Amino acid sequence: MSAPERQSPRGLWAVWFVIAALVALAAVPAYLGGRVGDMQARITDVLEVASSLSSRMELLKTQQMTRFEMFALTGDRAYQGEYVEVIAEEDSLFAHLAVLARDLDFDVREQLARLRAESTPWHFENTRLFEADSVGEELQTIRRRHGVLQQATRELDRAIQSEVAEGRREMERAQSLQVRLTFGLVLLALGATIVVARVGFRLRDLSDEAESGRSDAVLARREVDAVLAATEDGVLGIDLIGRCTSLNRAGVELLACPEREIMGRNVHDMFFHTSADGSACPREASPVLGALAEGRAVDASEGAILWKKPGLSFPARWSLRPLVDGSELRGAVLTFTDMTAIREHEDALRRAIGQREDVVSIVSHDLRNPLGVVLAASDLLLDLPLDEDERRQQAEIIQRSGKRMQNLIEDLLDVARIEAGAFVVRPSLEDIGPIVEEAGVLFADQAEHRGIELRVEALAVYLRARVDRDRLLQALANLLDNALRATPEGGSVVVGVHEDEDAVSLTVSDTGPGIEASLLEHLFERFSRAKSERGGGAGLGLAIVKGVADAHGGQVVVRTELGVGTTFEIRLPRG
C-alpha cells in the first residue's frame, strides 16, 4: 500500500475531526447557554414573578378581611366598594398565576387550584353579608375561613419558593457543566479557527448573494405594484377554484369594495351572479369559472355588466387570462374597465346622428320649399308678359321666400356660435314692454290664421332692463312660433312680463298638449323637437333661446303639464 493511500484515511479523519470540532464548538455552548438562559428566564420571568404574586395574594387576603371587619364595625358601605376593588385585583393575580402555573410543578398548580376553590365561596359569602343589614355571629365564621385561606396562601408561597430554590440549584449545576465543557472545546476551537474563518467568508458571500436576490425580488414586486396602481383598469387576481386573491386600487374604486371584503370570496358570486337582463346566472353557466377550469382566455360579450353592490351594476368590458408559472397553471387575472362613460357617449353619438339625419331632412325641406317658390316666381317673371302689379306680387313672393331661407341659415349660424362660445349680445337699457308687444304684433296674423287667441299681458308700470333688443326679440319669436305650432285651434297663447327683486321674467304660455318628461332633459339641445310640434321646425329655436338667456347671464325655465299646456320663462338679471 502506497503512502498516499495510507494517508488518505487519515486526511478523511482529519476532515471529520474538524467538522466534529466545529459542530461541538457551535452546538454544545449554544445548547448549554440556551439551557442556562432558559433556566434564568424561567426563574426571572416565572418563578420570581409567581413568588411576588403569591406574597401579594396573602396581602390581598388580609386587605379583604380588613375591609369586611371595618364594614361589620361601622356599617359604612364604602368598604364594600373597596372590598370589590381588592377582589378585582385578586382575580387579576389568579389569572396571572394561572398562566405562570403552566410552567410550574404539579404541587404548585394543585395549591393554586385549592386556594382558588376556597376563595370563591368565601367571596360569595362575604358579598351576601355586605348586602345584609347585620353581620352578627357570622363574623367569626368569616374569620376562621380567612385563616384557612391564609394558610392555603402560605402553602402556595412555600411551594413556589421550593421550586425557586430548586431552579437556582439546577441552574448552578448547568453553569458549572458549561464552564468545564467550554474550556475543553476552546482547545478544539484553536485547531479549527482557520477552517471556520474560511467557511465564514464563504457564508458571507452566500449571504450577500441571497440579499442581492431578495432586493431584486422586492424591486420587481414594487415595479409591478406601481404599474397596477397607475393603471385605470381594475386588475383582479383569482386562484384555481375561483376565489379572489388580490385587487388593485383602480379595481377598488370601480367596484366600490375594499380589497379585504373580497379576499377569499368566489369571483362569480361577487360580480357575475346575475345577467344583464336580471336573470340569475348559476355557477355552472359562468363564463369566468368555465374558462378558469379549462385554463383558457375569455373576453366579455357585448352588453356585459359587473355587479359591485347588491342591486348595483355597471357596463363593463372585461378580459380573463390564465396565470401560468412555467408550465403550472396558478390561477387567472381578470382585467375590467367601466364602460359607463363610453356607453353614454355612444348613446349621445347615436342620438346626435339621429338628430342630424332629422335636421338634414327638415332643413332640406325648409330650404327646398321657398327655393321652389323662388324658382317658380322667377320663371313667371321671365316667361310671361305680366303687368306691373303681377310682377310686383311675384317679386314679393321671391322676397318672402328668400327671407325664410335667410332666417334658417341665420339660425344655423347662431347655434354654431353658441356651441363655439362665440355668441355675443350687445345689451343696452331698453323698455321691456314695447319688445313684448312687438313680438305679439309679429305673430298676430299667424295666430288669427290658425284660430288661436294670442294675448300680450305686459306690466302697466315702466319696466327697463339691460338687454340686446334684437336677440331678446329673436328669443321671444322662437318661443311664440313653437307655442303656435303646439297649440290646437281654439286654444290660446299668452305672452307676459313679470318682475321680482332680482330678475325680469318674460313668459310664453300655451294650451297645447304639454311636453313628455322624457324629452325635457334634451329639450334645449340643437335639433331637439317636442313631439307636439306640428309642421316643420328644425329644432334650433329652443337652443337659440337658451343661448340668448345664457349670454345675458339669465336662464330659461320650462313648466309643463300633459294635457294642460307649457310655459317657457326667460329670467334676465335686472342689472
Q: What's the grid cell of residue 378?
A: 322667377
Which range of 133-147, 197-211, 461-475 scores highest in mean pLDDT? It is: 461-475
Q: How far apart are CA 301 and CA 320, in angstroms?
A: 12
Same domain, 539 and 397: no
When the pLDDT of each residue in the chain is averaged and rounded to a whole number, the result is 79
pLDDT of 7 > 50? The answer is no
For 133-176, what is each residue's pLDDT tens digit?
666 677 777 788 888 888 888 888 888 888 888 888 888 887 77
In this structure, is residue 15 part of a structural domain?
yes
Q: How far apart are CA 48 and CA 40, in angstroms?
A: 10
**Buried/exposed code over 216-242 (b: 16+ C-beta within 10 A; e: otherwise):** eeeeeeeeeeeebeeeebbbbbbbeeb
Least confident of 50-64, 184-198, 527-541: 527-541
Q: How far apart are CA 430 and CA 432, in angstroms?
A: 6
Domain boundary among 279, 310, 338: 338
* Per-residue model confidence (pLDDT) at position 197: 63
Q: The cell 387550584 sits on which residue? A: 113
Q: The cell 361589620 sits on which residue? A: 72
pLDDT cut 90: percent of the chain above it: 12
Band of pLDDT at residue 25, cut at 50, 70 and 90 = low
In this structure, is residue 215 part of a structural domain?
no
Q: How far apart are CA 427 and CA 552, in angstroms?
A: 8
Least confident of 44-53, 153-162, 452-461, 525-534: 525-534
Q: Are 47 and 167 in contact (CB under 8 A)?
A: yes
In this structure, is residue 213 part of a structural domain?
no
Same domain, 12 and 144: yes
Query: Which residues, other chains included, contact 428 with Cβ-Cβ below 8 Å and sequence gap of 6+?
Result: 466, 467, 468, 469
For 106-138, what is each residue's pLDDT tens digit?
888 887 888 888 888 878 777 777 777 666 677
SS3 531: coil
SS3 326: coil
* Per-residue model confidence (pLDDT) at position 453: 95
Mean pLDDT of 211-219: 68
Domain that holds residue 396: 344-417
* Per-residue model confidence (pLDDT) at position 2: 47
* Per-residue model confidence (pLDDT) at position 530: 57
Q: How far apart are CA 73 and CA 66, in angstroms?
A: 11
Handedness of CA 261, 263, 269, 273 (dihedral sign): positive
Query: Higher confidence at residue 422 or residue 221?
Result: 422
Query: Higher confidence at residue 253 or residue 566?
Result: 566
Domain boundary among 323, 338, 353: 338
Q: Is 370 left (phi over 0), alpha (psi -120 to 50) or beta?
A: alpha
Domain tally for the chain?
4
Handedness of CA 137, 138, 143, 148 (dihedral sign): positive
In this structure, is residue 506 part of a structural domain?
yes
What is the H or E stretch that residue 234 is in?
strand 234-238
* Per-residue model confidence (pLDDT) at position 557: 94
